[in-house]
Structure 1
Amino acid sequence: MTTISKQTFSTYDKFVIFILSITQFTIILDFMVMAPLGDLLLKDLHISPKDFGIVVSAYAFSAGTSGLLTAGFADKFDRKKLLLLFYFGFIIGTFLCGLANSYLTLVMARIITGLFGGVIGSISMAIVTDLFSLQQRGRVMGFVQMGFGASQVLGIPIGLYIANKFTWEAPFFMIVALSLCIAIAIVVKLKPVNAHLLEKTDKKPLLHLWHTIRNKEYRIGFLATVFLSVGGFMMMPFGTIFAVNNLGVHPDQLPFLFMVSGTCSLVIMPFIGRLSDAMSKYKLFVIATLWMLSISIIYTNLFAIPLWLVMILNVLLMIGIMSRMVPSQALTSAVPMPKDRGAFMSINSSIQQISGGIAAAVAGFIVYQDTETSPLMNYNIVGYVVAGIGILGIILMGRVNKMIAKRQL
């Protein structure tokens, strides 16, 4: 299949965008639904907060490991077949999460889910890069990343409702049912994505992986991803704790808070995608990063404030996060050559997952609570660290932008 060069989207193009978006939605929903289930899991499985942290991080580290293990093979197969293989593995892992009846079985199920689910994002990115021109990718990324906002709008409120109505296992079975419908649509409607196979390479999988890592230009992209992921994951795990114990948000108000910020993401993502295609992607990234860092510093230094103000600040923060995510992913997608695209995306996805897991762990050493209900201390320090890392991210993404511009001359 040839790369689509036109600026308008055909009916099939729209199907590809939709199926990748909803696939991404289920992957993110599977990860996001863990947060509201924390209290139920602690009580039902009789585990500690530390144990719950391990359950959450097990997914990230297994996903990162999986990306590295599959990177050498990613460009050897039709991307449709690869997507289906890992998506069915993800469905099995999620089903096992619903069957888990102990701490150990849940950790094992999350590891299996991460091993398969963590690679799907990179496969989707490779498909987008194969089928859509750089001038179109901002809009495509905008729609695909709507899964993040949709998971907040639907994942947390629906996950809490179903879990409270039935059991904590029920949301996982809901995701399995939805994912099976999506898998059938991929089998029936998605055409093979195999144009990259025409570019013959004699490299063996491990050698292909090694050569991809050794490429100096690729390493610049990987390093940029490290700083973007570390900055993004340091604040996230402790956001709910800070909102409840420092800002005075009642636990019952949390679903509404996430729903508002998630709805904002759904509304703004298509606009950001179009804006990313209409202006310099790097310029948009810089503006969005500076915006996000400013809000982060303000937010992490706050004390008890009204709920409406917390919502406004969360929306402003989400605008910054989404506005830098779309152009940065579009720029990163232009780094690899077609023959290395699958390997690059897999390694990049692994780096993203592992960096995020490390960032969350480091932030855990910075913040602390005297008791379970006392204010979260040193969260403002996390905000300052995120700001410093964000500036480094701007510098590295600038190098990526120059590298891409030089190629197009």
Structure 2
Amino acid sequence: MDETIPSQIAPPFTGYQKLVIALLALLQFTIVLDFMVLAPLGDFLMKSLSITPKGFGLVVSSYAFSAGASGILAAGFADKFDRKKLLLFFYTGFIVGTLCCAMSTTYEMLLGARIVTGLFGGVIGAISMTIITDLFAVHQRGRVMGFVQMALAASQILGIPIGLYLANIWGWHAAFYMIVIVAIGIAITIIFKVKPIDQHLAVQSDKNAFLHLWHAVSNPSYQTGFLATAFLSVGGFMLMPFGSAFLINNINISQAELPMVFMFTGMGSIVMMPLIGKLSDKMDKFLIFSAGSLLAVVMILIYTNLTPIPLWQVVVLNMVLFMGMMSRMIPATTLTMSIPDQKDRGAFMSVNSSLQQVAGGIAALCAGLIVTQETKSSPLQHYNTLGIVVSVLVIFCGFFVYRVNVMVKKKGQA
């Protein structure tokens, strides 16, 4: 795909491109929901399986660490195969892993199932980003990312409330069964509707997979992109795992009210994400990222210091917090996607995703060490300290995203 198409003549989406966007968004919906549903189910799991905050942090980070390991292992081969076949292989493994989560009856079984799910699910995001970069012009990608990232909002509007509703009726296992059923339908559609994505095979230069991986990880420009993405993911991984436990035990939100918080937050996000995506295609991406970072820092510091407040105030604060987070994520991800050359995209995205997952896993573990809870129903302690740590990391991330922004502009001028 030509990287130099000016924004004013960027072609509109074709019917097939719209189909690909829809499928990638739905696929991302299942991946995001599989990870995000752990946070609202956190209170269920910690009480039903007698899991401590430290143990729950390990459940979250186990997915991230296994995803990081598989991404590194897959990176050398990521540009050697048809991306459609690669996507289906890992998505099938993800479905099997999620089924194992649904069938878990002990903490140890759940931990093992999360590792299996991470081994396959962690690579899918990288493959999806590579497909977007292959099929869409540079000035279309902000809009594409805006729609695909709507999966995050959709998981909050539909997935998490439905998952919590099913959990209240049939237990927490039901949420994972729901994900498996939806994912099987998406996989079947991809098999029959998506064309082979193999144009990159014509420009391959490294015959050895490990040599190809080395060329990707040793490129200084790519290394800057890796660091930017790693720090970009840390905040979410630190705050999200204990979100439901904080709302229930500190803010006194009931289990019945919890779906409402996620649903309305998601509704706000689903409106904002396409708008942020469009702005990313029309305005300076780093400017939007900077504004989002400032908003995120302010909201994180407010949110993590909350005392019991009415439900509607919790919803409003959540909506504004997610607005700041997404205003960082979409432009920063769009910039990072533009760094690699076509022949290296698969390897770059796989390594990028791996470092993101590993950094997130470390963040979740650290969060589990910072946050403490005396009993299963007592308030979380030191959540405000966690907010300060995340805010500092958000600011630090801006340095690397700025360097990425400079590189992408130079590449476009060249």
CA separation in 2, counterparts of 1:155 and 1:48? 25
Matching of residues 129-208 of structure 1 within 5 Å: 129-208=133-212
CA separation in 2, counterparts of 1:174 and 1:330? 31
State the match for 1:299 in structure 2: 303
Long gaps (5+) in structure 2:
none
State the match for 1:58 in structure 2: 62
Tell me the amino acid that sits aligned with residue 369 of structure 1: Q
CA separation in 1, counterparts of 2:149 and 2:4? 20
Identity %: 56
CA separation in 1, counterparts of 2:265 and 2:181? 26
Deviation at residue 287 of structure 1 after TM alignment: 0.8
Residues 32 and 155 in structure 1, CA contact (< 8 A), matched pair in contact too: no
CA separation in 1, counterparts of 2:145 and 2:396? 23
Return 43-52 or 230-239, whichever deviates more: 43-52
CA separation in 1, counterparts of 2:320 and 2:113? 36
Q: Residues 50 and 88 from structure 1, CA distance in 2 versus in 1: closer, same or farther, beyond 3 angstroms?
A: same
- Name the SS for the 1:408 alignment partner: helix
- Name the SS for the 1:369 alignment partner: coil
Return 61-70 or 47-56, whichever deviates more: 47-56
Deviation at residue 357 of structure 1 after TM alignment: 1.2
Return 352-361 or 247-256, whichever deviates more: 247-256
RMSD over equivalenced CA pairs, Å: 2.0
Whether 1:400 aligns to 2:396 is: no
Whether 1:362 aligns to 2:371 is: no
Return 207-216 or 168-177, whichever deviates more: 168-177
Residues 3 and 132 in structure 1, CA contact (< 8 A), matched pair in contact too: no
**Aligned counterpart in structure 2 of residue 209 of structure 1, from 187, 206, 213:** 213
CA separation in 2, counterparts of 1:362 and 1:390? 16
CA separation in 1, counterparts of 2:108 and 2:242? 24
Tell me the amino acid that sits aligned with residue 33 of structure 2: L
State the match for 1:375 in structure 2: 379
Calculate the TM-score normalised by the size of structure 2. Answer: 0.93
Calculate the TM-score normalised by the size of structure 1. Answer: 0.94
Residues 4 and 132 in structure 1, CA contact (< 8 A), matched pair in contact too: no
Q: Figure out how many residues of one structure are paired with residues of the other and give that number.
A: 409
Residues 2 and 195 in structure 1, CA contact (< 8 A), matched pair in contact too: no
CA separation in 1, counterparts of 2:215 and 2:4? 28
State the match for 1:231 in structure 2: 235
Whether 1:27 aligns to 2:39 is: no
CA separation in 1, counterparts of 2:17 and 2:322? 28
Deviation string, structure 1 residues 189-222 (Cα, Å, up to 9, x no partner): 1111111111121341111112211110011111
Whether 1:342 aligns to 2:343 is: no
CA separation in 1, counterparts of 2:235 and 2:340? 24
Residues 87 and 120 in structure 1, CA contact (< 8 A), matched pair in contact too: yes
Residues 72 and 206 in structure 1, CA contact (< 8 A), matched pair in contact too: yes
Residues 53 and 371 in structure 2, CA contact (< 8 A), matched pair in contact too: no
Long gaps (5+) in structure 1:
none
Deviation at residue 367 of structure 1 after TM alignment: 2.7
Q: Residues 78 and 384 from structure 1, CA distance in 2 versus in 1: closer, same or farther, beyond 3 angstroms?
A: same
**Aligned counterpart in structure 1 of residue 114 of structure 2, from 107, 110, 119:** 110
State the match for 2:102 in structure 1: 98
Residues 139 and 273 in structure 1, CA contact (< 8 A), matched pair in contact too: yes
Residues 3 and 131 in structure 1, CA contact (< 8 A), matched pair in contact too: no
State the match for 1:72 in structure 2: 76
Q: Residues 126 and 387 from structure 1, CA distance in 2 versus in 1: closer, same or farther, beyond 3 angstroms?
A: same
